[in-house]
Each structure stands twice: as C-alpha cells, then as structure tokens.
Amino acid sequence: MSLTITIELGDADLQHFIDGMKKAQEETKHLSAQQVTDAARKLLADSANVTVPHFIAERLAKLDAMIAMVHDAGWALPDEDKSRVLSALTYFADPKDVIPDTVPVLGFLDDAIMIELCVRELKHELDAYDDFCDFRNNEAARLGVDPASHDVQRAQWLEGRREELQDRMRRRRRDSYSGATGSWKPTLFRFG
C-alpha cells in the first residue's frame, strides 16, 4: 500500500527554510570547503544507519552529487559556482538544523526539504555535472578503462558537447533540405 501526500510550502514556509539556511551559513562561515562537505557526508552516513522513508532517501542521494561536484578535479567547478554549492551545503554542516536528525522518522525531513530546495536552486549546475559524469563514464567504457581512474576534464566534455551540437545542426539541415516539402529549396548557399 502506498500513500500520496502533497506538501505545499507557501511563502512563509519557504521563508522559514531561507532563514534556517542563512542562520546555518552564518554559523558555519568559519568552516573550510572540506569541513562543509565532510559534514554533509556525515549526514549521509548517519542516514544510512537508520531506516528513512523512500522520498527522503531519494533526496539524500542528490546531496551526494552536490558533494561530488565540489571535489571532482575533472569537473573543476569554477569558484563562483563552487561557492554557490558550498553555500547550499552549509545547512547540512550546522548541527542545529530545524528538526534534529535524532528524531525518529521525521529527523531527516527538514534535510530532505532543504535538499529539494537546493536542487532546484542548483538545477543547471547539477544537470551539467550529471551530463559530464555520463560523458566520462561513456568515454571510459569506450576505452575499456575504469571510470574512477579515467582522467577526463571539463574542456573535453565541452568539446564533445560542441561536436554533438554541430552534428545535430548538420543533420537537421540535411534532413530539412532533403525532405523539404513545398516549393522552397535552398539556393543561396549552393556550391558546385
């Protein structure tokens, strides 16, 4: 049996989490990037030792991607983006979060909500990082090497994306010219 529960966070509810994030950022501003990500990793480790609802487990998995992108040398997150991700992770470095993690069943609920808000805020960074990881894994598979030891840099991924986009543009142009309906045929740029 499953049960669907919809939680709608209004402006006042969201402000509560925004205030919690600001408080956490203030209280953890002395921490290094490593200390912030270590604290977030600890949250993941702590959650692995208890049974958490599936919807919380799904969000905790997203936290792992945020941590990974900060330290991934191949991804080489630019400083401005790295600061944004670390700012999001500071909530998980503050031991005084909204609902203490030791509260049975609900202890990780505020963390899951905050992760969801962070994922929405960092959507573009996370999507790009996910695409980069897929590229790195595919390159490793193509070469028959272990993805963890395969040294792929952001520049290679960007070059691969550029080539992919150019191939798509050429394919669309070719398909639109060869399958053109109606009377228009390209004549301005014909050679030969």
CA-to-CA distance for 173 and 177, rounded, in angstroms? 6
Q: What was the pLDDT predicted at 187?
A: 60
Residue 126's contacts (CB-CB under 8 Å, 6 or more residues apart) are 62, 65, 66, 69, 119
Q: What was the pLDDT predicted at 62?
A: 87
Q: What was the pLDDT predicted at 132?
A: 92
Instruction: Report which residue type is found at 111.
Output: D
Q: What was the pLDDT predicted at 166?
A: 92
Per-block average pLDDT, block size 10, for the chain (192 residues)? 77 87 86 91 83 80 91 91 89 66 64 86 92 91 86 87 89 71 58 57
| Predicted model pTM | 0.74
Supply the DSSP string of the chain, one letter for each residue.
----------HHHHHHHHHHHHHHHHHTTTS-HHHHHHHHHHHHHHHHTS---HHHHHHHHHHHHHHHHHH-TTT---HHHHHHHHHHHGGGG-SS-SS-TTSTTTTTHHHHHHHHHHHHHTHHHHHHHHHHHHHHHHHHHHHTS-TTT----HHHHHHHHHHHHHHHHHHHHHHHHHT--SS----TT---
